[in-house]
């Protein structure tokens, strides 16, 4: 069964809307969560790394004021796309790395992804 739950799976909204995506680790504590983005026919690109209780680290070219990340607990990280525009339409995927558990045999556990479409 899924070990990382991502919600919502699909969002369609108007330009200018802010969209929040949740990523939850199930059955394990995730000290680190990652947010990726994938445009059609492109590779997954790491956007940011978030550690519980501290500020996220953003990759070069990713606007931290546009993509707000909150990692308030060991099981939940949220990504908010503020004032989304059509060029933000993409597939957003989170992943979580387990601290000390059976789940640490994989480098990261991925959520199902969120397909965001901005009209």
List of residues contacting another protein (CB under 8 A): 32, 34, 36, 41-46, 49, 51, 91, 93, 95, 106-108, 110-113, 115
84 vs 111 by CB, closer to another protein: 111
Q: What SS3 class is residue 116?
A: strand
Minimum distance between the CB of residue 103 and another protein, rounded to whole angstroms?
12
18 vs 36 by CB, closer to another protein: 36
19 vs 93 by CB, closer to another protein: 93
**Residue the block writes with tokens 């601290």:** 99
Minimum distance between the CB of residue 1 and another protein, rounded to whole angstroms?
13
CA-only gyration radius of the chain, Å: 14
CB 88 within 8 A of CB 108: no
Minimum distance between the CB of residue 87 and another protein, rounded to whole angstroms?
20
In angstroms, the CA 51 to CA 3 distance is 18
75 vs 114 by CB, closer to another protein: 114
Minimum distance between the CB of residue 110 and another protein, rounded to whole angstroms?
4
Can you read off the two tokens belonging to residue 116? 């965001």
End-to-end CA distance of the chain: 33
CB 89 within 8 A of CB 118: yes
């Amino acid at each position: 069964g899924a070990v990382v739950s991502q919600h919502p799976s699909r969002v369609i909204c108007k330009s200018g809307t802010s969209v929040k995506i949740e990523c939850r680790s199930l059955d394990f504590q995730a000290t680190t969560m990652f947010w990726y983005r994938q445009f059609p026919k492109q590779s997954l690109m790491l956007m940011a790394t978030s550690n519980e209780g501290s500020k996220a680290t953003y990759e070069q070219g990713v606007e931290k004021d546009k993509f707000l990340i909150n990692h308030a607990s060991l099981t939940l990280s949220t990504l908010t796309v503020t004032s989304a525009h059509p060029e933000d339409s993409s597939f957003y995927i989170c992943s979580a790395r387990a601290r000390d558990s059976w789940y640490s045999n994989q480098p990261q556990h991925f959520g199902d992804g969120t397909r965001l479409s901005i009209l």
